[in-house]
Structure 1
Amino acid sequence: MKESGLVKFKHFWKNKKGAVTIEFLFMSMFLIVLFAFLFDLVMLRSTLGKLDNASYTLVSILRERTQLYDRVAQINIDDHKQFEKLAKKLIYGDQNSNKRIDVVLEYWAQDGSGRRIPNIIGDCKPYKKLSDLSYLSPRSELNNERKIPLYQITLCVETQGLFETILLDKSERSTGLIRSSSMSVSR
């Protein structure tokens, strides 16, 4: 019985009629993996582009606090709720969407009155804390001693990318989430 199996294998090996089928099978598997990779790349980059646009838009609103919020520079919990609704509207098209989006607001001032909301951060963490970026704050034109306050907003959404670890670097991901942070100088 073993010889008949060995004979069939030798006959299969010498007979080239099945070679095209085997090559087709391997090329089909390769193309399926390639298309899955490209689909994942397009979906991740599209989502990351939406996050970048939304975070830049939201930090631009945040920096205008002196104009929009009666000259109150500090951020609070109510601001966080408003920005979460705005982020959902910008990314999902509906501010009451059930899809998860994490928003982290940060404020830094030279006098140490900086703040991060929410204080306890889950999986969505800024790539760099705003206090570590304080050297980017320019000096005031009126008083060269004072540094201008900074704002940073970080947005995170969940993804199910197969090739996420290959396609994204550390600054763009945070434990299963895609992240985008934008920083701006206060007005």
Structure 2
Amino acid sequence: MMNKYTQGPYGLPLTQGWRRQDGSFAIELAFVLFGLCAIFMFGTDLSKQLLIRASLDRTSFSLVNVLKERTRYYDGEVSSETNLIVTASNLSDMQTVGARLLDMSSDDVAIQIQSMVDGTVTTLHSDQFDQYGCVTDDFSDYSDLVPEDDGTVYPLYRVSLCEQFDSWFLAFLGDDDTNTILSSSIIVGR
């Protein structure tokens, strides 16, 4: 006959095997809490990564739109190919404006600007761009995007921005906790 002290869950008899499971709840709870923390860290990192990427996308698009306006801001002329190539002064200006848009110091902006004029690619980048190890694909691969109208070949411009952030998820798993995010925008000059 079973009494309340010999009866296990669901009315099953309490056996020696059942009594040996004292503490299994604590172990299972530890695994569940570890899993929940990992999911929380992953979600936090993912949202942070998306916010940084969106900020870099907006900024690179804004900067490349300023850079493309060669006739308006840089006394450029497409038909005579005057002042179409990016310069160190352009890089400095873009770095300053980028710092304002990204709300950071001008020295912390990792930026690369490129121009393709008549098939010749000119690339300028900040020191921070090299320090972060940012790598972009070959700009000359985009030569098919260059429009041509009545013998006039238009220039092509690209602005690439790079930012690093510390990943809670990777640190939680014991990996290198630094991620690098890169955003590029390409546009035809005028």
The TM-score bracket by the shorter chain reads: 0.7 to 0.9
The aligned residue for residue 153 of structure 2 is 147
| One-letter code aligned to 2:102 | I
The aligned residue for residue 158 of structure 1 is 164
The aligned residue for residue 47 of structure 1 is 52
Cα shift at 1:161:
2.4
> What RMSD over aligned residues (CA atoms) do the two structures have, in Å?
2.6
Cα shift at 1:56:
0.6
d(CA) in 2 for partners of 1:163, 1:74: 42
- Is the Cα–Cα contact under 8 Å of residues 104 and 125 in structure 1 kept in the other structure? no
- Is the Cα–Cα contact under 8 Å of residues 110 and 146 in structure 1 kept in the other structure? no
Question: Is 1:180 paired with 2:183?
Answer: yes
Cα shift at 1:98:
6.7
Q: What secondary structure is seen at the aligned counterpart in 1 of 2:135? A: coil
Question: Is 1:33 paired with 2:38?
Answer: yes
Cα shift at 1:118:
3.4
| One-letter code aligned to 1:148 | Y
- Is the Cα–Cα contact under 8 Å of residues 152 and 182 in structure 1 kept in the other structure? yes
Question: Is 1:85 paired with 2:85?
Answer: no
For 1:79-118, list aligned pairs within 5 A.
Answer: 79-92=90-103, 94=104, 97=105, 100-110=108-118, 112=120, 114-118=121-125
Distance 1:12 1:78, change over 3 A: farther
Cα shift at 1:125:
2.8
The aligned residue for residue 168 of structure 1 is none
d(CA) in 2 for partners of 1:12, 1:87: 67
d(CA) in 2 for partners of 1:161, 1:59: 29
**Structure with bigger gyration radius:** 2
Deviations 1:80-132 (A, max 9, x none): 0111111111112x5xx2772211110101263x4111399722332x22212
For 1:14-29, list aligned pairs within 5 A.
Answer: 14-29=19-34
Identity %: 26
Question: Is 1:129 paired with 2:138?
Answer: yes
**Structure richer in strand, relative to its length:** 2
Gap regions ≥5 residues in structure 1: 1-10, 165-174
d(CA) in 1 for partners of 2:66, 2:134: 21
Deviations 1:67-89 (A, max 9, x none): 11122322111110111111111
- Is the Cα–Cα contact under 8 Å of residues 154 and 180 in structure 1 kept in the other structure? yes
Distance 1:76 1:37, change over 3 A: same
- Is the Cα–Cα contact under 8 Å of residues 110 and 126 in structure 2 kept in the other structure? no
Distance 1:116 1:98, change over 3 A: closer
- Is the Cα–Cα contact under 8 Å of residues 85 and 117 in structure 2 kept in the other structure? no
Distance 1:36 1:137, change over 3 A: same
- Is the Cα–Cα contact under 8 Å of residues 125 and 154 in structure 1 kept in the other structure? no
Distance 1:153 1:77, change over 3 A: same
What TM-score, normalized by structure 1, do the two folds share? 0.74
